């Protein structure tokens, strides 16, 4: 049976663009039918297309990702998933943005050790950077609120929501799980989470 090459791409929300990842896969000659994508947070691996892809992977197949954080966001989960694919399924993984992370190369003990070491370092750095971003966002929100800054206005119709740059910005951040609903409420300067939730429902209604 011929070994197959698969690619996995991910963005955190529907309004983010997969183009760069898809172009990278295309340059490697990966067939579109073997490209699986999720528009979902990388907080865990409970993603429909990822689970489908993993169920198809077989020994000596190749899984390609653009960068390690497209695989996932959590440091420990990435390590566990990497080992499951390479040790249990016995498939290979190639990370385009980090050529050292290519399990097809140097399959001896030293090569495996170097690959595992690089993976752990990159996963840790990615995890720490996300934590720093969350801290900076929280500090920025607290300082602004302390200084009496009011964020946004109070749109009432779907059309107003679609044109409100403040709502669109914080909706996108909430959708990609960068901020919580409570933080979105504070940033928009409204008194009730219910109001924000109702705006979201109204905004997401199909025309």
12 is catalytic: yes
Residue 118's nearest CA partner among 133, 131, 134, 105 is: 105
Cα(63)–Cα(8) distance, integer angstroms: 7
The active-site residue out of 12, 41, 115, 176 is: 12
- According to DSSP, the residues that pair with 62 across neighbouring strands are 5, 92
Residues in Cβ contact with 126 at an 8 Å cutoff, skipping those fewer than 6 apart: 68, 69, 73, 75
Q: State in Å, rounded, how far the first CA of the chain is from the last one.
A: 48
Known catalytic residues are 12
């Amino acid at each position: 049976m011929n070994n197959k090459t698969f690619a996995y791409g991910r963005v955190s929300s529907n309004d983010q663009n997969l183009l760069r990842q898809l172009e990278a896969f295309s340059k490697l000659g990966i067939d579109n039918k073997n490209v699986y994508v999720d528009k979902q947070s990388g907080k865990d691996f409970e993603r429909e297309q990822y689970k489908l892809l993993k169920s198809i992977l077989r020994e000596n197949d190749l899984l390609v990702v653009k960068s390690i954080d497209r695989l996932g966001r959590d440091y420990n989960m990435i390590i566990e998933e990497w080992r499951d694919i390479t040790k249990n399924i016995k498939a290979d993984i190639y990370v385009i943005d980090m050529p050292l992370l290519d399990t097809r190369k140097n399959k001896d003990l030293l090569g495996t050790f170097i690959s595992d070491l690089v993976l752990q370092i990159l996963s840790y750095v990615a995890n720490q950077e996300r934590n720093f971003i969350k801290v900076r966002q929280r500090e920025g929100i607290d300082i602004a609120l302390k200084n009496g800054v009011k964020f946004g206005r109070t749109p009432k119709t779907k059309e107003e929501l679609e044109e409100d740059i403040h709502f669109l910005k914080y909706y996108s951040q909430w959708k990609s799980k960068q901020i919580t609903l409570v933080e979105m409420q504070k940033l928009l300067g409204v008194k009730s989470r219910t109001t924000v939730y109702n705006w979201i429902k109204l905004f997401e209604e199909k025309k």
